[in-house]
Chain A
Amino acid sequence: MEKGRSLVRWTGIGLAFLLIAITGMRVQGVEAPYKEPEGLRADILVIDTLKVFGELERPAVLFLHDQHTDALEKQEKGCKTCHLKDASFTLIPDTLDEAIRRIDPLSPKFKRLKDESRQEVMDIYHDECIGCHTRTADEGYESGPVTCGECHQKEPEVVSVRQEMGMDLSLHYRHVKAREKKCGVCHHKFDEIKDQLFYAKGEEGSCRYCHREVKEENRISMRLASHVACVNCHRDMVDQQKETGPIRCAGCHSEKMQARIKKVDPLPRMERNQPDAVFVNITETAEMSADMKARMAAVPFDHKAHETYNDTCRVCHHEGLETCSTCHTLAVAPDAGKKVNLEQAMHQENTKTSCIGCHMMEQAPKECAGCHNFMPKDRKQDDAFCKVCHSVAPAQAAAADKDEESQKAANVLEARKTRMDPIPESEIPETVTIKAIEKEFEPAIMPHRKIIDRLQKGVASSKLADHFHTDRATLCQGCHHNTPPAVKPPKCSNCHGKPFSEKKPIMPGLMAAYHRQCMECHKNMGIEKPAAVDCAGCHKEKKK
């Protein structure tokens, strides 16, 4: 129901804009109308309002909002054709409040303010829709359906291609700039005593921290909040003949239009008093027992650099802008955030919100996948690996205040040598001739140095690789696995000695070790030639 209501409200807002746009102020092109291919629409509203009163008797109606906006525009009619004036909005402080007041807020519902009864709502839709369609047709305009099945379609002719919309750092920056850093235009908090919204400087966060999927307590859903805030403000800008963002559905929700949204490059850093660097550890307090104090070495974290790796702060700060350990404590507790302890929050795989989870996702590109896909998931890392991050003893990480901590962490990061010198070419064999198990085929000549060059090139611009490839021979471990990094690592046949070992089926024999290592790496790195079944591509068949 909330969905339907918000959609209808959105409709109202859109139509309200239209009215203004048409009656008087001709505005410069807000958005070049974009048409999706036949049948694919980003503006579908599902009218299933009667659901709240019980089962639907007929299929829900798919309403094309942009189509109606366009049709009314042709007839020189506006939003008020469908939406009634509604003064009961909870207003947002500062300029957005002004904007909404200026443009006369309309109810998002169709021709009503409230859903009173099943019969009444049904009658409104039937009378008003069919009535308008009939009148429009009489007036000689292209018009909509008037029979039941044309609206209540069992198998709708249109498919929704609506994309989620969100504000990334670039779009945020454009708003910051346009609003001259007046954050209160959008950001607000709720004063429970005064029962009103207010702006709290320095406490801004993502809208989604309070406005969730659906309405919670007095907080309207994210969907409604964004439509009320974004669209109303855009309408007001249009009203004032200023350049502004989209108003039609497709403007934000079609993939093609989203791609047209300008990106700021280079993107200036967000100003929210965030530190350049921090130590990820437990903030120790005097009342903590010795047991609760951190025992693991602290992790110096380059916050400033990580800001640029994601589109939004929300990727890591998924519930708020506080430090991770505010919610993710050492021990698991029943509260929502504390169900995931700090260790898991930082190390869990398959999630973008943990360090290791995100780093592992960064191994997906084909430059990395050749080696990393081969490595078992969820494997026990050796101690040296932990120390790559956990490098500062808790005592050394202790700081009197945040600035000192940030400075200390930044110093550690600065002092860290980021890139290993490559192994000199002379020490790398140029080719390796594989002839140990030569039988049906002639020996294969492997371009050993070329392979290393390719791997080195792939990671050349990766700071992540620089950080975790701690030895100059780390890259060699992609093939020479299960052995410490060394310039002269053991040969394949040292371990995969026998062609087949019944005693150890998990370890492939030499033939399979060669084939699998080469083929899997080629597959993962997107190297198509030679094909896996093209035997002669690597070794010629012996003449019989």
Chain B
Amino acid sequence: MSISRRRFLSWMGAAGAGTAALARPGHSATTQHFEGYADAGAVLFDSVICIGCRRCEAACNRVNDLPAPERPFDDLTVLDERRRTHWDSYMVINKYYPNGKENPPVYGRMGCNHCLEPACASACFVRAFDKAPTAAVTYDETVCVGCRYCMVACPFEIPTYEYHKVISPRISKCTFCHPRLEKGLLPGCVEACPTEALTFGTREDIIATAKERIRRHPDRYIDHVYGEKEMGGTSWLYLSGVPFSQVGKREDLGYIAAPKLTSGALAAVPIVVGLWPVLLTGIYAVSKRREKIAKEEKENAVAQAISAEKAEAEANLTQEKEKAKKDKEAAVEKAVKKALEDAAKEAEEAGKKDSEEES
């Protein structure tokens, strides 16, 4: 291995900078502001007109086949508690006392605002959320993996989760009555509202209506249509006679759509996902090849060394063998010679009994 840790990191850094530079045009391409589908619907909630009767909640429950609540919808003491959306309630009306308890209450709605550029959809990596041409932000439970990133992403804290279900829990949130809209029906809540505190129309008309109401009764309304620009614009819009923060609306969200805030980082994802493997594979291949070459060289050297050794050993062996042969021959010769001498001596002594063997 000839890559040091330091060198590896510096390569990685350079690769990162490269992908960031490449990502820039990608980033600007995703910041096209989406103004919503033409003729898409929108709902105006007017807290000046809302009387807090909860008929919208009841209708929502009915049209969506949600389980019956613990306390019935005509029990208005429910409003004494601050509530939020739940897996079995897609929208809730809350009661606020912005002018003190001695003055009449003001009602606010909490539910999906159906953003033009939904944060939930941009956070979802299986594309379970979609902004439908009816303006509804729809949810496809068949692809949802239950990561709940949408719940984290939503600036309005709307999506909820069926934590109680062990098998295939779903995300739950207002559907904008998407199936009803497709049939040309009004959303359940809008249809049920006895005072049209909930009004439905095209987003253009709804904004015009809201502004006309402000113009006709400037003394009753805050001169602002909440949702016209908030988070890049939403398909549910709100009017109020008191600052929106006092009827449960966040005023710190700004006018930039959530996906735009993350597009810089997210736009780099394809680049990272697409390019980095190539780069890393390249780095891997280069190092792999180097390793291979080194191995081959080493093997050759070893083989050579072995064969040389072998040859030398063989040469030594033959030498040794020859030497041994020679020694043997010499020994034999010597032995023979000695035997001959001994035989001669024996013959000389002729009668000597003791004889010794030699090898």
Contact = CB atoms under 8 A, between A and B. Distances in A.
Interface of A: 376-379, 500, 502, 505-506, 508-509, 511-512, 515-516, 519, 532-533, 535
Contacts of B36: none
Contacts of A519: 51, 195
Nearest to A531: B51
B200 A505 contact: yes
A369 B290 CA distance: 92
B201 interface: yes
Contact of B216 (A376, A500, A509, A532): A376
B193 to A, nearest CB: 7
B219 interface: yes
B218 A511 contact: no
A506 B186 contact: no
Nearest to B55: A535
B339 interface: no
25 contacts: A377-B217, A377-B218, A377-B219, A378-B215, A378-B216, A378-B218, A500-B186, A500-B191, A502-B205, A505-B201, A506-B209, A508-B196, A509-B196, A511-B196, A512-B193, A512-B194, A512-B196, A515-B194, A515-B195, A516-B49, A516-B195, A519-B51, A533-B52, A533-B53, A535-B53
B216 to A, nearest CB: 3
Interface in B192-222: 193-196, 199-202, 205-206, 208-209, 212-213, 215-219
The 8 closest A-B pairs by CB, nearest first: A512-B196, A376-B216, A505-B201, A532-B51, A505-B209, A515-B194, A533-B53, A508-B196
A533 B44 contact: no
A500 B193 CA distance: 11
Nearest to B198: A512
Contacts of B12: none
B308 interface: no
A376 B51 contact: no
B53 A506 contact: no
Given A376-B217, A500-B186, A512 B200 contact: no
Contacts of A506: 208-209, 212-213
A49 to B, nearest CB: 39
Most chain A CB inside 10 Å of its own CB: which residue of B53, B194, B201, B219 = B194
Contact of B200 (A378, A502, A533, A535): A502
A502 B216 contact: no
A505 B199 contact: yes
B76 interface: yes
B194 A511 contact: yes
Contacts of B206: 505
Nearest to A502: B201
A502 to B, nearest CB: 5
A62 B91 CA distance: 54
Interface of B: 44, 49, 51-53, 76, 186, 190-191, 193-196, 199-202, 205-206, 208-209, 212-213, 215-219
B195 A500 contact: no
Given A377-B216, A500-B186, A533-B52, 16 more contacts: A376-B215, A378-B216, A500-B190, A500-B191, A502-B200, A502-B202, A502-B205, A505-B209, A508-B196, A512-B193, A512-B195, A515-B195, A519-B51, A532-B51, A533-B51, A535-B53
Contacts of B200: 500, 502, 505
Chain B binding surface SS class: mixed
A412 B51 CA distance: 49
Nearest to B216: A376
Contacts of A505: 44, 199-201, 205-206, 209
B201 A532 contact: no
A506 B199 CA distance: 9
A516 B218 CA distance: 18
Nearest to B41: A502
Nearest to A536: B74
Nearest to B201: A505
A519 B52 CA distance: 13
A87 B200 CA distance: 77
Contacts of B52: 533
A505 B196 CA distance: 9
Contacts of A508: 195-196
B326 to A, nearest CB: 122
Nearest to A518: B195
A532 B54 CA distance: 12
Contact of A533 (B76, B193, B199, B213): B76
Contacts of A377: 216-219
Contacts of B209: 505-506
Contacts of A516: 49, 195-196
Contacts of B190: 500
Contacts of B196: 500, 508-509, 511-512, 516
A19 B52 CA distance: 65
B342 to A, nearest CB: 139
A222 B209 CA distance: 49
Nearest to B218: A377
B216 A379 contact: yes
Nearest to A513: B196
A376 B52 CA distance: 24
A488 to B, nearest CB: 27
Contacts of B208: 506
Nearest to A509: B196
A42 B202 CA distance: 58
Contacts of A512: 193-196
Contacts of B201: 502, 505
Contacts of A515: 194-195
A419 to B, nearest CB: 30
Contacts of A376: 215-217
Nearest to B48: A520
Contacts of A379: 216
Contacts of B194: 511-512, 515
Contacts of A532: 51, 53
Nearest to B193: A512
Best-surrounded residue of B44, B195, B200 (most CB of chain A within 10 A): B195
Contacts of B53: 532-533, 535
A515 B193 CA distance: 10
Contacts of A535: 53
Contacts of A509: 196
B348 to A, nearest CB: 147
A373 B252 CA distance: 33
A228 B194 CA distance: 63
A440 B76 CA distance: 19
Contacts of A533: 51-53, 76
A176 to B, nearest CB: 40
Contacts of B217: 376-377
B93 to A, nearest CB: 11
A44 to B, nearest CB: 27
Nearest to A441: B194
A378 B212 CA distance: 12
A377 B212 CA distance: 11
A180 B299 CA distance: 134
Q: For A502, A505, A508, A509, which residue has the most chain B Cβ atoms within 10 angstroms?
A: A505
Nearest to A374: B217
